[in-house]
Amino acid sequence: MESLSKNLFILRKRKGLSREAVARALEMSAMTYQRYEKDLRDPTAPTLVRLADFYGVTLDQLAGRAPLPETTDEGA
C-alpha cells in the first residue's frame, strides 16, 4: 500500500512529529510505525482506524483513495 505509507509520512511531517512520537501516541513500537511508513508492513484494520483518527483524516484519505485535506497550518 504505497499510497498509505506516503500519506503517513506526509501527515506526520505536517504535524511536525517524529516517528517515535507518533508510535508513543498510538501505543505501538517505533519500529512497527516505521514499517508502516516505509511500506514494509500493512497495518490491521483497527490500526488503520486509529491512524486515521490520530491524523484527523478518513480511511479513504489515509489509503490514497481520496485526496488528503489541504493544510492551512503553514508551519506544520
Model confidence at 72, pLDDT cuts 50, 70, 90, reads low
Domain ranges of the chain: 2-63
Select the more confidently predicted residue: 72 or 36.
36
Q: Cα separation of 43 and 47, whole Å? A: 6
Burial status of residue 8 (CB atoms within 10 A of its CB: 0-12, 13-18, 19 or more): buried
What pLDDT score was predicted for residue 75? 44
> Model-level pTM?
0.89
pLDDT greater than 90 at residue 6: yes
Whether 71 has a pLDDT exceeding 90, the answer reads no
pLDDT at 30: 97
- Fold assignment, 2-63: 434 Repressor (Amino-terminal Domain) (1.10.260)
